Structure 1
Amino acid sequence: MLWLSELLMQNQDLQSFEEMLELVRERARAGERFLSSDVKPPFPDTPPDWEERVEATFTSPMS
């Protein structure tokens, strides 16, 4: 399972929501099957619909 909090802790050099989405995409392509959006990303560019965007990126990693 991919925990968003764990991804953020392991990649503290991330600067934006879009960079985080790319990591989510990579992990989905690598075979992660489940996602937990357990924390809100702390980036200034995090959109109001961040949960839906993270989920869409995770479920459609080839986009």
Structure 2
Amino acid sequence: MARLSDIVIQNPQVTHFADLETLIAQAAQNGLISLEMDVKPDYIDTPRNWAWRLEGTFTRGVTR
């Protein structure tokens, strides 16, 4: 299990929400089993439905 805050902290090069989505998908494809949404990503382009989008991205990454 990973926390979203840990992923954000460990990847300071990520500066846009779309890049975070890519990172989450890759983590899921690499074997991450669960993701805790413990913080709202603090990017200028973070959408209102950020948690729903990241959960969908994570789920699609796991099932690929």
TM-score normalised per structure 1: 0.94
Higher helix share: 2
SS at 1:59's partner residue? helix
Q: Cα offset for 1:13? A: 1.4
Structure 2: which 5+ residue stretches go unaligned? none
Hey, what's the Cα distance between the residues in 1 that align with 2:21 and 2:2? Answer: 13
**Superposed CA offset, 1:6-33 (max 9, x none):** 0000001111000011000000000111
Q: How does 1:1-63 map to 2 (within 5 A)?
A: 1-61=1-61, 62=64
Hey, what's the Cα distance between the residues in 1 that align with 2:37 and 2:58? Answer: 11
RMSD between aligned alpha carbons?
0.7
Structure 1: which 5+ residue stretches go unaligned? none
Give the length in aligned residue pairs: 62
